[in-house]
Amino acid sequence: MQDILQSLGIQATDKPLSGVYAGGWVATPGGETLSSTNPATGSNLGRVVHGDSADYEACVAAAQEAFLRWRMLPAPQRGEYIRLCGEALRAKKTELGALVTMEMGKIRAEGEGEVQEMIDIADFAVGLSRQLYGLTMHSERPGHRMYEQWHPIGPIGIISAFNFPVAVWAWNAFLAAVCGDTMIWKPSEITPLCGIAVQNIVNEVMEPAGFGGVFNLCCGTAEPVGEAMIADRRLPLISATGSVRMGKRVGEVVGGRLGRSLLELGGNNALLVMDDANLDLALSAVLFGAVGTAGQRCTSTRRVLLHKDIAEEFTTRLCQAYKQVNMGDPLASDTLMGPVINEASVNAMLAAVAAVKESGGEILTGGEQATIDGCEGGTFMQPTIARVSKDFHLLKEETFAPLVYLVTVNDLDDAIALQNDVPQGLSSAVFTTSVQSSESFLGHAGSDCGIANVNIGTSGAEIGGAFGGEKDTGGGREAGSDSWKAYMRRQTCTINYTDELPLAQGIRFGPA
Ligand code: NAD
């Protein structure tokens, strides 16, 4: 473990690490000191000193100063720095992936996959740096030219969740950087070492070029750091990823100052299996969607809606497949499922299991906390399948754990209605071989989610598409497509190259 930390610039010392980078590491931040815990073992990975209000101010000052210079670099030159950041990440992919595994608990393949996502978005951002296109319009006035252009918006704030401790930062940071913005990142207080490691990696590129202040880090909890960010008018955009509860608070405070928020919040994702589906495909998709990352992805499959004609067969096969899931130390190469993040997650899942039983539902497999040899201090939950009725109240809530609900439905309309009847709207999927069913699912009266898949599970999106969801998921879009527009301000410009001053709409104004 020490080797991995050391290769990421994290030295093992008795002194706690600084969690604040304000254009340079702040030697002794003024906030509280918190430990980072390995959820697989309960062991302490290191102690991190959070920022206080003065440290936060230093981050803002660094981001403001760097913004004045960074925004003046041509976008393709900014892209070149991001290309180098992608190269630096490639060189540290194994080590950073391992740290994600140790601090968050996802298995090695997923930890490295998360770093690969950072590399992919870096590549995407490099291309984008030559494609920040604006439109031109035909003016209604003679001798006038009209067009729109996109400017950097300023220093922005990035608040991220524990479950994607590095990739979500990159989705925001690399796009924002090629757009000309600088930023302050508050990672989850549960995964500060990932934040420090990422900061060290990009510093290798940015510091020698005198651009350390483009990416700043302020580890902390909601108070004082998070609340300071969302109330701060100097940050015109706050991009926040996390629970719906957090997003409502961020939306309210940022909206109250008429700032812009980009919210990526909880999901409650349904996977529909129709009677004509390829059940082998659907089975693999449910397994990865519900068990992968121990059910701690925003896109994890929470509800499987089974057509009545295949419900029994599918349920039997899924229960068998669950018995093959190898749960254990996420660092071990044959482990398929690691721990949940902490005791609070264990308790939330146990409460949901109890509610299933109280409602008359059945736990078909799992349902209990597990002990793993060699990982006695870890927080493991058995992967769990519950069969519930359509009116089970927790079907409308996101329980962030490896618990999936099976519900039997009559037909596609029934399934779509049930799928949409929740507050969240992130990801959705249908398994069918019928064109009518898939097109209905994708049509205006179909899935109401930001992501709608056919014969692909709910979990695991590519960076090329815009990622995000509707309703309580917050409406934000990150990563591919035209998501970059969130990080810039649009300006409409009209140029008159005549000696006349005609007004729009033919209005005449002045002495007759
Ligand atoms: P969380 O809401 O507890 O915390 C997320 C972040 O918000 C943390 O950095 C936290 O410190 C910060 N925060 C909390 N209150 C704040 C406040 N008042 N002001 C400013 N910052 C505040 O979420 P979590 O438990 O870390 O993550 C799990 C949740 O995130 C799940 O609901 C999951 O679905 C969601 N998530 C969504 C997406 C997406 O893209 N839609 C991606 C990943 C995770």
Q: Are residues 354 and 485 in the same domain?
A: no
Query: CA 468, CA 461: separation in Å to the nearest integer?
Result: 10
Per-residue pLDDT of 466-491, as tens digits, reads 999 999 999 999 999 999 999 999 99
Q: Are residues 177 and 280 in the same domain?
A: no
Q: What is the identity of the amino acid at 57? A: E
User: Is residue 426 in contact with ligand 1, taking CB distance under 6 Å?
Assistant: yes
Per-residue pLDDT of 325-369, as tens digits, reads 999 999 999 999 999 999 999 999 999 999 999 999 999 999 999
Q: What is the pLDDT of residue 15?
A: 87
Alpha carbon 402 to chain centroid distance?
18
69, containing H or E segment = helix 53-70
Q: What is the pLDDT of residue 11?
A: 80
CATH number at residue 388: 3.40.309.10
Q: What is the pLDDT of residue 512?
A: 77
Ligand 1 centroid to 172 CA: how many Å?
Answer: 15
Q: What is the pLDDT of residue 38?
A: 97
Task: Using the structure block, give the residue that is written with the tokens 């760097």.
Answer: 66
Ligand 1 centroid to 243 CA: how many Å?
Answer: 4
Q: Are residues 378 and 460 in the same domain?
A: yes
Full-model pTM: 0.98
162, containing H or E segment = none
Per-residue pLDDT of 193-209, as tens digits, reads 999 999 999 999 999 99
Q: Are residues 108 and 252 in the same domain?
A: yes
170 falls within a domain:
yes
Query: CA 369, CA 399: separation in Å to the nearest integer?
Result: 15
Q: Are 346 and 369 in contact (CB under 8 A)?
A: yes
**What is the count of structural domains for the chain?**
2
Q: Are residues 230 and 301 in the same domain?
A: no
Between 93-104 and 108-128, two packed helices, what is the crossing angle to 10 degrees?
120
Q: Of 103, 114, 189, 264, which is the active-site residue? A: 264
298 catalytically annotated: yes
User: Is residue 483 in contact with ligand 1, taking CB distance under 6 Å?
Assistant: no
DSSP state at residue 432: -
Alpha carbon 431 to chain centroid distance?
25
Phi, then psi, of 324 in degrees rounded to 5: -85, -5
Name which of 241, 297, 325 is nearest 460 in CA terms.
297
Name which of 25, 87, 88, 13 is nearest 55 in CA terms.
25
Average pLDDT over all residues of the chain = 97
The domain in which residue 380 lies consists of: 269-467
DSSP state at residue 266: -
Q: Number of H helices and number of E strands within the chain? A: 14, 25
Q: Are residues 307 and 221 in the same domain?
A: no
Name which of 305, 345, 298 is nearest 474 in CA terms.
298
